[in-house]
Structure 1
Amino acid sequence: MTSCGCLMLEKVEGDASAKTRVKAAPGAGAGAWCGSCAGDWRGRSEAIFPIYVMGSSRESTVAAARGIVDSPEDPIWVAVKAEAKSEAEKEPILSSFLYASVLSHDCLERALSFVLANRLEDPTLLATQLIDIFNDVMLNNKDICRSIRLDAQAFKDRDPACAQYSWALLYLKGYQSLQSYRIANILWNQGRKVLALALQSRISEVFAVDIHPGILSI
Protein backbone atom coordinates (compact mmCIF):
# COMPACT_ATOMS: atom_id res chain seq x y z
CA MET A 1 0.00 0.00 0.00
CA THR A 2 1.41 3.37 -0.97
CA SER A 3 1.58 6.23 1.50
CA CYS A 4 -0.03 8.61 -1.02
CA GLY A 5 -3.18 6.47 -1.33
CA CYS A 6 -2.66 5.34 -4.93
CA LEU A 7 -3.87 2.15 -6.51
CA MET A 8 -1.18 -0.48 -6.17
CA LEU A 9 -0.48 -3.49 -8.37
CA GLU A 10 0.72 -6.31 -6.14
CA LYS A 11 2.12 -9.71 -7.04
CA VAL A 12 1.27 -12.38 -4.48
CA GLU A 13 3.44 -15.47 -4.34
CA GLY A 14 1.83 -18.77 -3.36
CA ASP A 15 3.08 -22.30 -2.86
CA ALA A 16 1.72 -23.58 -6.17
CA SER A 17 1.38 -20.48 -8.30
CA ALA A 18 1.80 -16.74 -8.42
CA LYS A 19 -1.25 -14.51 -8.57
CA THR A 20 -1.72 -10.84 -9.33
CA ARG A 21 -4.22 -8.55 -7.71
CA VAL A 22 -4.94 -4.84 -7.64
CA LYS A 23 -5.30 -3.17 -4.26
CA ALA A 24 -6.67 0.29 -3.57
CA ALA A 25 -5.59 2.25 -0.55
CA PRO A 26 -8.42 3.65 1.61
CA GLY A 27 -9.90 6.76 0.05
CA ALA A 28 -8.12 6.32 -3.27
CA GLY A 29 -10.01 7.27 -6.40
CA ALA A 30 -10.68 4.43 -8.82
CA GLY A 31 -7.97 4.20 -11.43
CA ALA A 32 -5.96 7.09 -9.97
CA TRP A 33 -2.30 7.43 -9.09
CA CYS A 34 0.06 10.29 -8.39
CA GLY A 35 3.03 11.31 -10.50
CA SER A 36 5.57 9.75 -8.17
CA CYS A 37 3.89 6.34 -8.45
CA ALA A 38 3.28 6.34 -12.21
CA GLY A 39 6.72 5.05 -13.15
CA ASP A 40 6.59 2.23 -10.62
CA TRP A 41 3.07 1.26 -11.71
CA ARG A 42 4.17 1.09 -15.37
CA GLY A 43 7.13 -1.13 -14.52
CA ARG A 44 4.98 -3.52 -12.50
CA SER A 45 2.22 -3.71 -15.11
CA GLU A 46 4.63 -4.26 -18.00
CA ALA A 47 6.21 -7.14 -16.12
CA ILE A 48 2.85 -8.80 -15.44
CA PHE A 49 0.84 -7.83 -18.55
CA PRO A 50 3.57 -7.19 -21.16
CA ILE A 51 1.39 -7.14 -24.30
CA TYR A 52 -1.54 -5.16 -22.92
CA VAL A 53 0.24 -2.12 -21.50
CA MET A 54 -1.00 1.02 -23.25
CA GLY A 55 1.00 4.14 -23.97
CA SER A 56 4.44 2.58 -23.65
CA SER A 57 7.22 5.14 -23.62
CA ARG A 58 9.82 2.79 -25.08
CA GLU A 59 11.74 4.40 -27.92
CA SER A 60 11.04 1.53 -30.32
CA THR A 61 7.28 1.93 -29.91
CA VAL A 62 7.42 5.69 -30.39
CA ALA A 63 9.62 5.34 -33.47
CA ALA A 64 7.33 2.70 -34.96
CA ALA A 65 4.26 4.88 -34.46
CA ARG A 66 5.99 7.85 -36.06
CA GLY A 67 6.96 5.71 -39.04
CA ILE A 68 3.38 4.50 -39.52
CA VAL A 69 1.96 8.00 -39.61
CA ASP A 70 4.69 9.87 -41.47
CA SER A 71 5.83 7.34 -44.07
CA PRO A 72 4.79 8.36 -47.62
CA GLU A 73 4.63 4.67 -48.59
CA ASP A 74 1.89 3.77 -46.07
CA PRO A 75 3.52 0.61 -44.66
CA ILE A 76 0.30 -0.63 -43.04
CA TRP A 77 -1.56 -0.63 -46.36
CA VAL A 78 1.40 -2.22 -48.16
CA ALA A 79 1.43 -5.00 -45.56
CA VAL A 80 -2.34 -5.52 -45.74
CA LYS A 81 -2.22 -5.95 -49.52
CA ALA A 82 0.74 -8.34 -49.35
CA GLU A 83 -0.99 -10.43 -46.69
CA ALA A 84 -4.25 -10.55 -48.66
CA LYS A 85 -2.43 -11.62 -51.81
CA SER A 86 -0.59 -14.35 -49.94
CA GLU A 87 -3.77 -15.62 -48.29
CA ALA A 88 -5.62 -15.65 -51.62
CA GLU A 89 -2.91 -17.91 -53.03
CA LYS A 90 -3.09 -20.23 -50.02
CA GLU A 91 -6.91 -20.33 -49.88
CA PRO A 92 -8.31 -19.93 -53.41
CA ILE A 93 -11.86 -20.21 -52.09
CA LEU A 94 -11.32 -16.83 -50.38
CA SER A 95 -9.77 -15.12 -53.40
CA SER A 96 -13.00 -13.33 -54.42
CA PHE A 97 -13.58 -12.13 -50.86
CA LEU A 98 -9.99 -10.89 -50.50
CA TYR A 99 -10.04 -9.20 -53.90
CA ALA A 100 -13.31 -7.40 -53.17
CA SER A 101 -12.30 -6.43 -49.63
CA VAL A 102 -8.65 -5.47 -50.13
CA LEU A 103 -6.96 -6.00 -53.47
CA SER A 104 -9.45 -4.03 -55.57
CA HIS A 105 -8.92 -0.86 -53.52
CA ASP A 106 -6.21 1.80 -53.77
CA CYS A 107 -5.94 2.74 -50.08
CA LEU A 108 -6.70 1.50 -46.58
CA GLU A 109 -9.58 3.95 -46.16
CA ARG A 110 -11.52 2.60 -49.15
CA ALA A 111 -10.89 -1.00 -48.13
CA LEU A 112 -12.09 -0.28 -44.60
CA SER A 113 -15.18 1.51 -45.93
CA PHE A 114 -16.04 -1.55 -48.01
CA VAL A 115 -15.55 -3.96 -45.11
CA LEU A 116 -17.54 -1.89 -42.61
CA ALA A 117 -20.36 -1.14 -45.05
CA ASN A 118 -20.85 -4.82 -45.81
CA ARG A 119 -20.88 -5.66 -42.11
CA LEU A 120 -23.32 -2.89 -41.17
CA GLU A 121 -25.75 -2.89 -44.09
CA ASP A 122 -29.39 -3.80 -43.61
CA PRO A 123 -32.44 -3.80 -45.92
CA THR A 124 -32.99 -0.05 -45.45
CA LEU A 125 -29.36 1.09 -45.19
CA LEU A 126 -27.57 -0.25 -48.23
CA ALA A 127 -23.87 -1.06 -48.43
CA THR A 128 -23.42 1.27 -51.40
CA GLN A 129 -24.85 4.16 -49.39
CA LEU A 130 -22.66 3.38 -46.40
CA ILE A 131 -19.54 3.13 -48.57
CA ASP A 132 -20.15 6.66 -49.87
CA ILE A 133 -20.68 7.99 -46.34
CA PHE A 134 -17.64 6.23 -44.90
CA ASN A 135 -15.36 7.25 -47.77
CA ASP A 136 -16.46 10.87 -47.45
CA VAL A 137 -15.63 10.86 -43.74
CA MET A 138 -12.32 9.02 -43.84
CA LEU A 139 -10.83 10.51 -46.99
CA ASN A 140 -11.41 14.03 -45.69
CA ASN A 141 -10.18 13.65 -42.12
CA LYS A 142 -6.45 13.25 -41.45
CA ASP A 143 -7.02 12.38 -37.80
CA ILE A 144 -9.05 9.27 -38.57
CA CYS A 145 -6.57 8.26 -41.30
CA ARG A 146 -3.87 8.33 -38.65
CA SER A 147 -6.00 6.55 -36.05
CA ILE A 148 -7.01 3.59 -38.20
CA ARG A 149 -3.34 2.86 -38.89
CA LEU A 150 -2.20 3.24 -35.30
CA ASP A 151 -5.08 1.03 -34.17
CA ALA A 152 -4.06 -1.65 -36.68
CA GLN A 153 -0.50 -1.50 -35.38
CA ALA A 154 -1.72 -1.71 -31.78
CA PHE A 155 -3.87 -4.76 -32.51
CA LYS A 156 -1.00 -6.54 -34.23
CA ASP A 157 1.47 -5.69 -31.47
CA ARG A 158 -0.74 -6.35 -28.45
CA ASP A 159 -3.40 -8.90 -29.40
CA PRO A 160 -2.18 -12.51 -29.62
CA ALA A 161 -5.20 -13.29 -31.82
CA CYS A 162 -4.05 -10.78 -34.47
CA ALA A 163 -1.01 -12.14 -36.30
CA GLN A 164 -1.42 -9.91 -39.37
CA TYR A 165 -2.63 -6.38 -40.09
CA SER A 166 -5.22 -7.76 -42.50
CA TRP A 167 -6.76 -9.87 -39.75
CA ALA A 168 -7.71 -6.73 -37.82
CA LEU A 169 -9.24 -5.17 -40.92
CA LEU A 170 -11.15 -8.22 -42.11
CA TYR A 171 -12.02 -10.36 -39.11
CA LEU A 172 -11.69 -8.69 -35.70
CA LYS A 173 -14.88 -7.03 -34.51
CA GLY A 174 -12.99 -5.03 -31.89
CA TYR A 175 -11.07 -3.18 -34.59
CA GLN A 176 -14.09 -2.89 -36.88
CA SER A 177 -16.40 -1.58 -34.17
CA LEU A 178 -13.84 1.00 -33.03
CA GLN A 179 -13.43 2.39 -36.54
CA SER A 180 -17.20 2.42 -37.02
CA TYR A 181 -17.58 4.52 -33.90
CA ARG A 182 -14.84 6.88 -35.05
CA ILE A 183 -16.92 7.52 -38.16
CA ALA A 184 -20.12 7.95 -36.11
CA ASN A 185 -18.31 10.41 -33.83
CA ILE A 186 -17.25 12.55 -36.79
CA LEU A 187 -20.80 12.52 -38.16
CA TRP A 188 -22.11 13.55 -34.74
CA ASN A 189 -19.66 16.44 -34.55
CA GLN A 190 -20.66 17.52 -38.06
CA GLY A 191 -24.23 17.91 -36.85
CA ARG A 192 -25.49 14.73 -38.56
CA LYS A 193 -26.70 13.37 -35.24
CA VAL A 194 -29.61 11.28 -36.48
CA LEU A 195 -27.34 9.42 -38.90
CA ALA A 196 -24.74 8.97 -36.14
CA LEU A 197 -27.39 7.50 -33.83
CA ALA A 198 -28.65 5.20 -36.57
CA LEU A 199 -25.09 3.93 -37.01
CA GLN A 200 -24.71 3.51 -33.26
CA SER A 201 -27.80 1.32 -33.16
CA ARG A 202 -26.62 -0.81 -36.07
CA ILE A 203 -23.05 -1.09 -34.71
CA SER A 204 -24.41 -2.24 -31.36
CA GLU A 205 -26.57 -4.85 -33.07
CA VAL A 206 -23.80 -6.22 -35.30
CA PHE A 207 -20.74 -6.01 -33.04
CA ALA A 208 -22.35 -6.09 -29.56
CA VAL A 209 -20.39 -2.93 -28.71
CA ASP A 210 -22.29 0.19 -27.66
CA ILE A 211 -20.60 3.61 -27.45
CA HIS A 212 -22.51 6.86 -27.79
CA PRO A 213 -21.15 8.67 -30.88
CA GLY A 214 -20.89 11.93 -28.99
CA ILE A 215 -18.29 10.72 -26.49
CA LEU A 216 -15.63 8.91 -28.54
CA SER A 217 -12.63 11.14 -29.18
CA ILE A 218 -10.44 10.47 -32.22
Structure 2
Amino acid sequence: MTETHSARDAVWQSIQDEARLGLVSDPIFGGAAAAAIQDHPDLGSVVAHQIGTRLGRTPGERAQLAAIARRAQRASPDLVDAAGVDLRAIAARDPATTSLLPPLLNYKGYIAMQAFRVSHWLWTNAQPDLALLLQAEASTSLQVSIHPSAQIGTAVFLDHATGIVIGAFSTIGDGVTILQNVTIGRHDALPGRGPRIGRGVLLSSGATVLGDVAIGDFAKIGAGAVVTSDVPAGCTAVGTPARLTNCLDTPSPAGT
Protein backbone atom coordinates (compact mmCIF):
# COMPACT_ATOMS: atom_id res chain seq x y z
CA MET A 1 0.00 0.00 0.00
CA THR A 2 1.41 3.37 -0.99
CA GLU A 3 1.62 6.40 1.29
CA THR A 4 -1.13 8.04 -0.79
CA HIS A 5 -3.39 5.06 -0.31
CA SER A 6 -2.65 5.10 3.43
CA ALA A 7 -3.60 8.78 3.66
CA ARG A 8 -6.79 8.15 1.69
CA ASP A 9 -7.71 5.24 3.97
CA ALA A 10 -6.99 7.34 7.06
CA VAL A 11 -9.38 10.07 5.89
CA TRP A 12 -12.08 7.51 5.16
CA GLN A 13 -11.59 5.89 8.58
CA SER A 14 -11.91 9.27 10.30
CA ILE A 15 -15.13 9.98 8.42
CA GLN A 16 -16.58 6.62 9.43
CA ASP A 17 -15.60 7.23 13.06
CA GLU A 18 -17.27 10.65 13.03
CA ALA A 19 -20.43 9.12 11.56
CA ARG A 20 -20.58 6.47 14.29
CA LEU A 21 -20.04 9.04 17.04
CA GLY A 22 -22.71 11.27 15.52
CA LEU A 23 -25.19 8.41 15.57
CA VAL A 24 -24.58 7.86 19.28
CA SER A 25 -24.83 11.54 20.24
CA ASP A 26 -27.81 12.40 18.03
CA PRO A 27 -29.84 9.40 16.79
CA ILE A 28 -32.02 11.52 14.47
CA PHE A 29 -29.65 13.83 12.60
CA GLY A 30 -26.62 11.69 13.36
CA GLY A 31 -28.47 8.70 12.01
CA ALA A 32 -29.02 10.42 8.68
CA ALA A 33 -25.35 11.33 8.43
CA ALA A 34 -24.28 7.81 9.39
CA ALA A 35 -26.56 6.34 6.74
CA ALA A 36 -25.08 8.67 4.13
CA ILE A 37 -21.66 7.22 4.92
CA GLN A 38 -22.56 3.59 5.55
CA ASP A 39 -24.16 3.31 2.12
CA HIS A 40 -20.75 3.74 0.46
CA PRO A 41 -17.56 1.68 0.39
CA ASP A 42 -15.07 4.56 0.23
CA LEU A 43 -14.55 8.33 0.06
CA GLY A 44 -14.73 8.45 -3.72
CA SER A 45 -18.13 6.82 -3.72
CA VAL A 46 -19.50 9.37 -1.23
CA VAL A 47 -18.06 12.29 -3.20
CA ALA A 48 -19.50 10.98 -6.48
CA HIS A 49 -22.89 10.51 -4.83
CA GLN A 50 -22.78 14.04 -3.41
CA ILE A 51 -21.93 15.48 -6.83
CA GLY A 52 -24.94 13.71 -8.31
CA THR A 53 -27.23 14.70 -5.45
CA ARG A 54 -26.26 18.37 -5.43
CA LEU A 55 -26.11 18.91 -9.21
CA GLY A 56 -28.87 16.67 -10.54
CA ARG A 57 -32.51 17.78 -10.65
CA THR A 58 -34.14 14.38 -11.20
CA PRO A 59 -33.29 10.89 -9.95
CA GLY A 60 -32.05 10.00 -13.41
CA GLU A 61 -29.79 13.06 -13.65
CA ARG A 62 -28.44 12.47 -10.16
CA ALA A 63 -27.56 8.86 -10.98
CA GLN A 64 -25.99 9.85 -14.30
CA LEU A 65 -23.80 12.61 -12.81
CA ALA A 66 -22.69 10.35 -9.98
CA ALA A 67 -21.76 7.65 -12.50
CA ILE A 68 -19.73 10.16 -14.53
CA ALA A 69 -17.84 11.21 -11.40
CA ARG A 70 -17.23 7.62 -10.38
CA ARG A 71 -15.93 6.74 -13.83
CA ALA A 72 -13.49 9.64 -13.69
CA GLN A 73 -12.30 8.57 -10.23
CA ARG A 74 -11.64 5.04 -11.40
CA ALA A 75 -9.63 6.33 -14.33
CA SER A 76 -7.76 8.84 -12.16
CA PRO A 77 -7.50 7.90 -8.45
CA ASP A 78 -5.75 11.25 -7.90
CA LEU A 79 -9.25 12.78 -7.91
CA VAL A 80 -10.07 10.92 -4.71
CA ASP A 81 -6.70 11.80 -3.19
CA ALA A 82 -7.38 15.48 -3.94
CA ALA A 83 -10.85 15.18 -2.41
CA GLY A 84 -9.26 13.94 0.83
CA VAL A 85 -6.68 16.73 0.88
CA ASP A 86 -9.37 19.36 0.23
CA LEU A 87 -11.47 17.94 3.06
CA ARG A 88 -8.61 18.01 5.55
CA ALA A 89 -7.82 21.59 4.53
CA ILE A 90 -11.35 22.72 5.37
CA ALA A 91 -11.19 21.07 8.80
CA ALA A 92 -7.84 22.76 9.43
CA ARG A 93 -8.71 26.27 8.18
CA ASP A 94 -12.44 26.78 8.70
CA PRO A 95 -13.16 28.19 12.18
CA ALA A 96 -16.70 26.81 11.95
CA THR A 97 -15.63 23.15 12.03
CA THR A 98 -12.79 20.85 13.00
CA SER A 99 -14.51 17.75 11.60
CA LEU A 100 -14.53 16.10 8.19
CA LEU A 101 -18.14 14.96 8.04
CA PRO A 102 -19.94 18.37 7.96
CA PRO A 103 -18.06 19.74 4.92
CA LEU A 104 -18.29 16.41 3.12
CA LEU A 105 -22.08 16.30 3.43
CA ASN A 106 -23.08 19.95 3.70
CA TYR A 107 -20.51 22.39 2.26
CA LYS A 108 -21.43 23.28 -1.30
CA GLY A 109 -18.00 24.80 -1.85
CA TYR A 110 -16.44 21.41 -1.23
CA ILE A 111 -18.76 19.68 -3.68
CA ALA A 112 -18.26 22.48 -6.23
CA MET A 113 -14.50 21.89 -6.06
CA GLN A 114 -14.89 18.14 -6.53
CA ALA A 115 -17.28 18.68 -9.44
CA PHE A 116 -14.67 20.94 -11.00
CA ARG A 117 -12.00 18.28 -10.59
CA VAL A 118 -14.20 15.83 -12.50
CA SER A 119 -14.97 18.40 -15.22
CA HIS A 120 -11.25 19.18 -15.57
CA TRP A 121 -10.51 15.49 -16.00
CA LEU A 122 -13.19 15.32 -18.72
CA TRP A 123 -11.75 18.43 -20.40
CA THR A 124 -8.24 17.01 -20.48
CA ASN A 125 -9.50 13.65 -21.72
CA ALA A 126 -11.18 14.91 -24.89
CA GLN A 127 -14.71 15.23 -23.49
CA PRO A 128 -15.20 19.03 -23.57
CA ASP A 129 -18.97 18.99 -24.05
CA LEU A 130 -19.52 16.83 -21.00
CA ALA A 131 -17.03 18.93 -19.03
CA LEU A 132 -18.91 22.13 -19.88
CA LEU A 133 -22.21 20.47 -19.01
CA LEU A 134 -20.88 19.63 -15.56
CA GLN A 135 -19.65 23.22 -15.16
CA ALA A 136 -23.08 24.55 -16.13
CA GLU A 137 -24.86 22.27 -13.65
CA ALA A 138 -22.51 23.30 -10.85
CA SER A 139 -23.04 26.97 -11.69
CA THR A 140 -26.82 26.59 -11.65
CA SER A 141 -27.06 24.43 -8.54
CA LEU A 142 -24.18 25.72 -6.41
CA GLN A 143 -23.54 29.28 -7.69
CA VAL A 144 -19.92 28.39 -8.36
CA SER A 145 -18.70 28.49 -11.97
CA ILE A 146 -15.22 27.13 -12.66
CA HIS A 147 -14.19 26.64 -16.26
CA PRO A 148 -12.91 23.09 -16.77
CA SER A 149 -9.73 24.35 -18.43
CA ALA A 150 -8.61 26.01 -15.17
CA GLN A 151 -5.79 24.36 -13.23
CA ILE A 152 -6.31 24.18 -9.48
CA GLY A 153 -4.08 22.64 -6.83
CA THR A 154 -5.12 20.81 -3.69
CA ALA A 155 -6.14 21.97 -0.22
CA VAL A 156 -8.24 24.72 -1.86
CA PHE A 157 -11.09 26.04 0.30
CA LEU A 158 -14.12 27.80 -1.21
CA ASP A 159 -15.54 29.46 1.90
CA HIS A 160 -19.28 30.30 1.72
CA ALA A 161 -19.01 29.43 -1.99
CA THR A 162 -21.58 31.76 -3.52
CA GLY A 163 -21.01 33.87 -6.61
CA ILE A 164 -17.53 32.49 -7.33
CA VAL A 165 -16.35 32.64 -10.96
CA ILE A 166 -13.02 31.18 -12.09
CA GLY A 167 -12.47 31.67 -15.80
CA ALA A 168 -10.77 29.75 -18.55
CA PHE A 169 -7.06 29.01 -18.25
CA SER A 170 -6.73 30.45 -14.75
CA THR A 171 -4.18 28.75 -12.51
CA ILE A 172 -4.57 28.41 -8.74
CA GLY A 173 -1.94 26.91 -6.44
CA ASP A 174 -2.20 24.71 -3.37
CA GLY A 175 -3.69 25.93 -0.13
CA VAL A 176 -5.65 28.87 -1.55
CA THR A 177 -8.72 30.22 0.27
CA ILE A 178 -11.46 31.87 -1.82
CA LEU A 179 -14.40 33.65 -0.20
CA GLN A 180 -17.77 34.53 -1.70
CA ASN A 181 -18.32 36.68 -4.80
CA VAL A 182 -14.74 36.36 -6.06
CA THR A 183 -14.02 36.64 -9.79
CA ILE A 184 -10.82 35.34 -11.39
CA GLY A 185 -10.65 35.71 -15.15
CA ARG A 186 -9.15 37.11 -18.31
CA HIS A 187 -9.37 40.80 -19.19
CA ASP A 188 -11.42 41.55 -22.33
CA ALA A 189 -9.16 44.45 -23.27
CA LEU A 190 -6.03 42.37 -22.70
CA PRO A 191 -6.58 38.94 -24.25
CA GLY A 192 -4.26 36.20 -23.12
CA ARG A 193 -3.96 33.62 -20.43
CA GLY A 194 -5.81 33.92 -17.15
CA PRO A 195 -4.50 34.95 -13.74
CA ARG A 196 -1.95 32.82 -11.93
CA ILE A 197 -2.69 32.56 -8.22
CA GLY A 198 0.19 31.31 -6.08
CA ARG A 199 0.23 29.01 -3.07
CA GLY A 200 -1.53 29.94 0.15
CA VAL A 201 -3.21 33.06 -1.25
CA LEU A 202 -6.30 34.52 0.45
CA LEU A 203 -8.91 36.05 -1.88
CA SER A 204 -11.36 37.95 0.31
CA SER A 205 -15.06 38.56 -0.34
CA GLY A 206 -15.82 40.40 -3.57
CA ALA A 207 -12.23 40.44 -4.84
CA THR A 208 -11.66 40.56 -8.60
CA VAL A 209 -8.45 39.44 -10.32
CA LEU A 210 -8.34 40.06 -14.07
CA GLY A 211 -5.88 39.53 -16.87
CA ASP A 212 -2.46 38.00 -17.37
CA VAL A 213 -1.31 38.71 -13.81
CA ALA A 214 0.54 36.79 -11.13
CA ILE A 215 -0.45 36.77 -7.47
CA GLY A 216 2.56 35.67 -5.44
CA ASP A 217 2.61 32.97 -2.80
CA PHE A 218 0.83 33.84 0.47
CA ALA A 219 -0.41 37.19 -0.82
CA LYS A 220 -3.73 38.51 0.46
CA ILE A 221 -6.32 40.22 -1.72
CA GLY A 222 -8.64 42.45 0.32
CA ALA A 223 -12.43 42.52 0.19
CA GLY A 224 -13.70 44.25 -2.93
CA ALA A 225 -10.21 44.81 -4.37
CA VAL A 226 -9.79 44.93 -8.15
CA VAL A 227 -6.41 43.55 -9.20
CA THR A 228 -5.15 44.01 -12.76
CA SER A 229 -1.39 43.89 -12.15
CA ASP A 230 1.01 41.57 -10.38
CA VAL A 231 0.99 41.25 -6.58
CA PRO A 232 4.35 40.15 -5.10
CA ALA A 233 4.56 37.24 -2.71
CA GLY A 234 3.48 38.07 0.83
CA CYS A 235 1.89 41.43 -0.05
CA THR A 236 -1.66 42.57 0.60
CA ALA A 237 -3.61 44.26 -2.21
CA VAL A 238 -6.54 46.52 -1.27
CA GLY A 239 -8.81 49.01 -3.00
CA THR A 240 -10.01 49.80 -6.52
CA PRO A 241 -7.69 49.81 -8.35
CA ALA A 242 -5.68 47.71 -5.94
CA ARG A 243 -2.64 49.15 -4.19
CA LEU A 244 -0.01 47.17 -2.32
CA THR A 245 0.48 47.25 1.43
CA ASN A 246 1.97 45.14 4.22
CA CYS A 247 4.54 43.47 2.01
CA LEU A 248 6.47 40.99 4.14
CA ASP A 249 10.07 39.92 3.93
CA THR A 250 8.98 36.44 5.00
CA PRO A 251 5.57 35.40 3.59
CA SER A 252 3.10 33.71 5.92
CA PRO A 253 0.14 31.51 4.97
CA ALA A 254 -3.12 33.22 4.10
CA GLY A 255 -5.55 33.40 6.97
CA THR A 256 -2.90 33.79 9.67
Superposition TM-score tier, normalisation by shorter sequence: 0.5 to 0.7
Instruction: Give 1:83's aligned residue.
Output: 18
Residue 201 of structure 1, CA deviation: 1.0
Tell me which amino acid in the other structure corresponds to 2:86: D
2:87 is aligned with 1:152: yes
Q: Which secondary structure state, in structure 2, belongs to the residue aligned with residue 74 of structure 1?
A: helix
Change (3 A) 1:152 1:73: closer
Report the alpha carbon displacement of residue 139 of structure 1 after superposing the two structures with TM.
2.4
User: Would you say 1:187 and 2:122 are equivalent positions?
Assistant: yes
Structure 1 residue identity aligned to 2:75:
N
Query: 1:170 aligned to 2:101?
Result: no
Take 2:57 and 2:94, find their aligned partners in 1: how far apart are those partners?
A: 30
Instruction: Flag the 1:91–1:100 CA change in 2: closer, same or farther, 3 A.
Output: same
User: In the TM superposition, what is the alpha-carbon distance from 1:78 to its structure 2 partner?
Assistant: 0.3
Higher strand share: 2
Instruction: Output the aligned Cα RMSD.
Output: 2.2
Contact 1:138–1:144, Cα closer than 8 Å, also in 2: yes
**What is the Cα deviation at residue 99 of structure 1?**
4.1
Structure-2 separation of matches of 1:195 and 1:88: 38
- C-alpha separation between the residues in 2 aligned to 1:74 and 1:200? 29
Aligned to 1:131: 66
Which sits farther off after the overlay, 206-215 or 124-133? 124-133
Correspondence 1:102 to 2:37: yes
Which of 124, 137, 142 is 2:77 aligned to? Answer: 142
Partner of 1:145, secondary structure, is: helix
Q: Report the number of matched residues.
A: 152
- Give the secondary structure class of the aligned counterpart of 1:126: helix
Aligned equivalents of 1:167, 1:148: Cα separation in 2: 14
TM-score, normalised via structure 1 length: 0.63
Q: Flag structure 2 segments of 5+ consecutive residues without an equivalent.
A: 154-256
- Per the alignment, residue 51 of structure 2 pairs with 116
**Aligned pair 1:74/2:5, yes or no?**
no
Distance 1:158 1:104 in 2: 28
CA 100–136 in structure 1, closer or farther in 2 if over 3 Å, else same: farther
AA of the residue aligned to 2:46: A
Change (3 A) 1:126 1:189: same
Q: Is the 8 A contact 2:22 2:31 kept in 1?
A: no
Amino acid in structure 2 at the alignment position of 1:83: E
- Moved runs in structure 1, 4+ residues, more than 4 A? none
Paired with 1:170 and 1:79, the residues of 2 have a C-alpha distance of 14
Separation (CA, whole Å) in 2 of partners of 1:80 and 1:86: 10
Contact 1:181 1:216 in 2 (8 A): no
Mapped partners of 1:116, 1:73: distance in 2: 19
In our comparison, the structure showing a higher alpha carbon Rg is 1
Q: Is the 8 A contact 1:109 1:145 kept in 2?
A: yes
- Runs of 5+ consecutive residues of structure 1 not aligned to the other structure: 1-65
